Structure 1
Amino acid sequence: MTLKLAGLPDDTPVKLTIELPADVHRDLVRYGAILGESEGRAFTPSQLIGPMLSRFMATDRTFITRRNSG
């Protein structure tokens, strides 16, 4: 089984402070653990949020159309 996130790049982050519902945080911790099994390194929720948002926006057709139109 392949997760939607794989091969996360090392990139210079921009620091944000956010609050997440506890269940979302728990799922991010678990996702990071599962992804870590296939990638050979552990991932924290803060390492996952950016790539997840990026993937979400990259597959949102309405967002892509409006972003590209001006």
Structure 2
Amino acid sequence: MTKLKLGAIADDRPVKVTVELPAVVHRDLTAYAAALAAETGAQAVPPEKLIAPMLARFMASDRGFARGRHNAKN
């Protein structure tokens, strides 16, 4: 199996946000949650719990975003 980009999902205090997703994205999140559970040996997490870590990972790897945040601090 391919190594997934996300690791185990930390249990953190959430902030409630309502988002509408296309059905295909929800199906992919559900499949990703199942793959993550199989890879980590942990219980499957609900697909909505994947959204925050995926967004955080995406933003952390976006060089343009990081550069913009750095420039805004200066």
TM-score, normalised by the number of residues in structure 2: 0.88
Aligned residues: 70
Choose between structure 1 and 2 for higher RCO, CA contacts under 8 A separated by at least 6 residues: 2
Unpaired segments of 5 or more residues in structure 2?
A: none
Segments ≥4 residues shifted beyond 6 Å:
none
Percent identity for Structure 1 against Structure 2: 51
Corresponding residue of 1:6:
7
CA-to-aligned-CA distance 1:30-66 (integer Å, 9 cap, x gap)? 0001101122111112110000000000000000000
> Does 2:47 align with 1:30?
no
Is the aligned partner of 1:61 residue 2:52? no
Deviation at 1:8, TM superposition (A): 1.9
Which runs of 5 or more structure 1 residues have no equivalent in the other structure? none
Query: Structure 1-normalised TM-score?
Result: 0.93
- Computing the radius of gyration over CA atoms, which structure comes out larger, 1 or 2? 2
Q: Give SS of 1:34's match.
A: helix
